Amino acid sequence: MRATIFIKNTETNEFQFVSSVAAVALYTGISLNTLQTYFSRDKKDFVTVDQYEIYKGMSYSKSELEEHGKIKINK
């Protein structure tokens, strides 16, 4: 499974894969406008908001990440 956006909750060390900025807003509770500002206008590929680290443009599969043994993947 490939994903466009990769979200890490720094409090629980859990990761979530999503395919749109709107899905990030639903998952994190961060406003869509705030996220669009970071990713569109500021042209960032990585942001930290509250307890979340959000990576845009990820191209790793779940199995590739799980091989590292350092993270927990939500299903």
Angle formed at CA 40 by CA 58 and CA 60, multiple of 5 degrees = 0
Tokens found for residue 3: 């994903």
- Asked if the model's pLDDT at residue 2 lies above 60, the reply is no
| Residue-wise pLDDT tens digits, 31-56 | 999 888 887 766 777 888 889 988 88
Q: How far apart are the first and last CA of the chain?
A: 11
Q: What is the pLDDT of residue 75?
A: 45
